Structure 1
Amino acid sequence: MRLATFTTTAGADRPRAGVVSGERVHPFPPGLTMRDLVERGLEEVRQLAGEALTTGGHPLADVRLLAPLAPASVRDFVAFEEHVQGIRQAVTGVAGVPDAWYDGPTFYFTNPHAILGPEEPVPFPAACAARDLELEVAVVVATAGRSLSVEQARDHVFGYTIMNDWSARDLQGREMQVGLGPAKGKDFATTLGPWIVTADELEPHRDEDGFLRLWCTVSVNGAEIGRDLLSNMGWTFEALIAYASRDSRVEAGDVLGSGTVGNGGCLGELWGRRGTQDPPPLAPGDVVTLTVEGIGAISNVVAVAEPAPDLPAARLRDPALARKAASS
């Protein structure tokens, strides 16, 4: 099944969840969000979809597709070794892959409140000059779990969607010198869409090691800049879920990004390999399109947000003197 969230082109109605069949989307009962559907589970969703498909539905050309769901949380991994090689060189100036990368699928949390859908403009920070895209596939978690094994995690996969982890590389490179993960270099926008493809639909694409063999491509203004196989991941999606749940918890509706595919899945990787910003950073008005075999395609236009208010510089003081003064 392909499950979408949409409004009519006029945009006067409230968002609806629906099942896509051919070139039409058939709505589920009013009030049911995609998160509700995920929490109900695939079996109940199949029953609801069967009922929805008996209605006339709407032509896809007459609706506006939104981000398929409001995630409970968003974790983004770095599961492609080739991407790590290039992007580390671009952001930190250090070549190679850190030894720790091989120990487990590292991730960071990004902003679930800055989710965009297909065709929405991407508001890059006004202070950013090195605007970048990231071609990823994300898995949607079906049910809650804690410290899952990889085998158990197979039952926690609801489906998959395309993800663009937009990146302000100049902001990211500066803030990561502090020793934490990215913050303002990442949290302004993440695109999901165009819909969620349920897990069963992609099972025929699994290779002998359990990876999804899907071609992933990215283009800017119609010119392809990157192409890779999703099966070049270092870990399966089930392993990502298991690791995310280790000594912690995943919830229904969590979104876990694969990390950026290699071979040009983002501009930064190419900059790191070539030693120059070639291709150039994204510019306002550029159209970025991500396409993943078996899922679909999403496009967004690059935009620039209004300048944010200034912040004061850090207050510098001698902590020992301050404590002494406060205790006297």
Structure 2
Amino acid sequence: MLRLIQSLRKYKYYKVRRGAIWLKLVTYVLPMDDLHIQSNQVTAARLGWVQDSWVVDVVLAQKWLIENKRMSFPHLLPTDMLTLLERGENELAMLREVVSSFHGMDLSPLSVEGESLALALQEVTLLAPLPNPKSVRDFYAFEQHVKTSRARRGLKMIPEWYEIPVFYFSNHHAIYGPEAGIKRPSYTKWLDFELEVACVIGKRGKNIPAEKAREYMVGFCIMNDWSARDVQKKEMEVGLGPAKGKDFATSLGPYLVTLDELEDRRVGEHWDLAMTAKVNGVQLSAGNLKDLYWSFAQMVERASSECELFPGDVIGSGTVGTGCILELGVEVHRWLEPGDVVELEVERLGILRNPIQ
């Protein structure tokens, strides 16, 4: 027990002493496991991080350090993202020590238990970094998108939007990763993409004030909130929704990038990250995460008001200005059809690409 306590104290100390270790976390499967993928729910999925052009397996890397560097740990790291988040700050600190131990090393010859520690990025299939979020809340936080989308429907801006950040719950069981095919639902002809950024919660909390919110945020990833606009239109006219207009697919990925990697682009509670969207290689959308009217800190505060947030909860930003066909208009691009390819790109967060089926 004493050794365990000393080990845990070591990881707390490491976090302060060594400083932040940049992390691009991924959930991946080996090529041989591709046939078992069903909406990212894969028993063979592994937790890894991206280093240069490699995906490094977290558990194999830790075992290699134990066997070859005689390093000691209180226990093995988990094989999945959600468990990593649920175990808390000490677990992330332990992961940072593992990652830092391989900084600058040639990963290609390293193996343990007959398996390579690292595989080339192009050799693996990336799932959503968090394939099984506890919940998905999607906010409506970019003013330009709200104004333009309402104007296209002949509606004025509503003053209540400036009073509180609003959100809806999406389907956390319909999560897709990069390159996963998105099936156009049979009930829609107006399929649309939405260019967003998602924040992942890493610590349990309730009634979190905005000034403390970053303590609860692990990092960001790109989010595509796929939308059936014709169905959504009917639902919103009834005054309840969106529901079926949104619940068939949400894409996340390709990485979960920790906030420390983005610190040099943070301005107060906003991040200066360019955002673009392409359909079939043609750029349609361009915006910036810093243009949020409601910051992620304010979203966390609102979401946690008299309600507990948990590790693995996802909070979406809503669509950036110009970030969907609804806002741009069908004169700019028709609604999405099978065969189209949508690519969302956000600085530092990578490219989230999905074909329509």
Q: Indicate whether 1:19 and 2:66 are aligned.
A: no
Q: Indicate whether 1:76 and 2:138 are aligned.
A: yes
Q: Which amino acid aligns with 1:102?
A: Y
Deviation of the 1:46 alpha carbon: 4.0
- The residue aligned with 1:308 is none
Distance in 2, Cα, partners of 1:25 & 1:238: 31
Deviation per CA, 1:299-324: give whole Å up to 9, x if none: 00112xxxxxxxxxxxxxxxxxxxxx
Q: Which amino acid aligns with 2:31?
A: T
- The residue aligned with 2:327 is 269
- The residue aligned with 1:38 is 85
Q: Indicate whether 1:88 and 2:150 are aligned.
A: yes
The counterpart of 2:119, out of the listed 17, 36, 58, is: 58
Q: Which amino acid aligns with 1:71?
A: P
Distance in 1, Cα, partners of 2:332 & 2:266: 34
Distance in 2, Cα, partners of 1:42 & 1:299: 31
- The residue aligned with 2:202 is 142
After TM superposition, the score normalised by the length of structure 2 is 0.79
- The residue aligned with 1:10 is 32
Distance in 2, Cα, partners of 1:110 & 1:94: 26
Which SS does the other structure have where 2:244 is aligned? coil
Tell me if the contact between 1:172 and 1:183 (Cα under 8 Å) persists in the aligned partners.
yes
Deviation of the 1:277 alpha carbon: 4.4
Deviation of the 1:49 alpha carbon: 4.5
Deviation per CA, 1:252-281: give whole Å up to 9, x if none: 11000000000x21110112xxxx543111
Which range is displaced more, 107-116 or 23-32?
23-32
Distance in 2, Cα, partners of 1:127 & 1:188: 11
Deviation of the 1:154 alpha carbon: 1.7
Aligned length: 295
Distance in 1, Cα, partners of 2:52 & 2:339: 31
List alignment gaps of at least 5 residues for structure 1: 304-328
Which SS does the other structure have where 2:188 is aligned? coil
Distance in 2, Cα, partners of 1:41 & 1:79: 28
The counterpart of 1:227, out of the listed 280, 286, 290, is: 286
* Structural mapping, 1:76-155, within 5 Å: 76-90=138-152, 93-155=153-215
Q: Indicate whether 1:196 and 2:250 are aligned.
A: no
Deviation of the 1:58 alpha carbon: 1.1
- The residue aligned with 1:302 is 356
Deviation of the 1:50 alpha carbon: 3.7
Distance in 1, Cα, partners of 2:341 & 2:226: 13
Deviation of the 1:96 alpha carbon: 2.7
Which SS does the other structure have where 2:277 is aligned? strand
Tell me if the contact between 1:28 and 1:49 (Cα under 8 Å) persists in the aligned partners.
no
The counterpart of 2:333, out of the listed 279, 282, 290, is: 279
After TM superposition, the score normalised by the length of structure 1 is 0.86
Tell me if the contact between 2:184 and 2:338 (Cα under 8 Å) persists in the aligned partners.
no
Which SS does the other structure have where 1:29 is aligned? helix
Tell me if the contact between 1:19 and 1:49 (Cα under 8 Å) persists in the aligned partners.
no
Deviation of the 1:217 alpha carbon: 0.3
List alignment gaps of at least 5 residues for structure 2: 1-22, 35-42, 61-77, 103-109, 111-116
- The residue aligned with 2:238 is 178
Deviation per CA, 1:280-312: give whole Å up to 9, x if none: 111111000000001111100112xxxxxxxxx
Q: Indicate whether 1:260 and 2:319 are aligned.
A: yes
Distance in 1, Cα, partners of 2:313 & 2:214: 15
Which range is displaced more, 38-47 or 119-128?
38-47
